């Protein structure tokens, strides 16, 4: 049996839950042959004036702890649904540019397919598709991208 590696980009939006539901419904027959990776990418605290000051005041340990706690909070709903469905997965988080970190993770982990919601939690939404989904679609060739809306 061929092991297919699927990366689910998780941002905490309703579209992430729709993507999880899609995977649960449509990939049931692949349970034993699929390696599912959940990935949340947190934007870094800006390095400008406030960001530099935050790093000075709080220290890297506190900031790293913040990133980890936020990632765990955002990953939790998707993890709970997958656990309830009996689908094994591994969760990860990164800090950086969202589309770039997804691309890097997919490349390094030899991902066969990326699943992403069409829109995330960004303040400004495109009419047709969110900016992160658009960037992932444009930068991850030759990896297929499934966009769920």
- pLDDT tens by residue, 106-148: 999 999 999 998 865 444 444 434 578 888 888 877 999 998 9
**pLDDT of res. 116:** 92
**pLDDT of res. 127:** 41
* Domain count along the chain: 1
What range defines the domain where residue 62 resides?
4-148
- The pTM (predicted TM-score) of the whole model is 0.86
Confidence label for 75 from pLDDT (cuts 50, 70 and 90): very high
Please give the mean pLDDT across all residues of the chain.
85
Of 52, 1, 2, 30, the residue nearest 115 (C-alpha)? 30
Report the CATH number that the domain containing residue 122 is assigned in CATH: 3.40.50.620
């Amino acid at each position: 049996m061929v092991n297919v590696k699927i990366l689910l980009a998780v941002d905490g939006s309703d579209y992430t839950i729709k993507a999880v539901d899609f995977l649960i419904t449509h990939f049931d027959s692949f349970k034993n042959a699929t390696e599912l990776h959940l990935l949340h990418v947190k934007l870094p605290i800006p390095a400008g004036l406030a960001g530099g000051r935050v790093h000075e005041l709080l220290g890297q340990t506190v900031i790293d702890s913040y990133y980890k706690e936020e990632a765990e909070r955002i990953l939790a709903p998707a993890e709970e649904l997958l656990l309830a469905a009996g689908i094994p997965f591994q969760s990860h988080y990164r800090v950086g540019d969202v589309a770039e970190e997804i691309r890097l993770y997919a490349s390094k982990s030899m991902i066969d397919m990326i699943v992403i919601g069409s829109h995330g939690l960004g303040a400004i939404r495109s009419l047709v598709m969110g900016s992160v989904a658009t960037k992932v679609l444009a930068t991850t060739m030759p990896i297929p991208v499934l966009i769920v809306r």
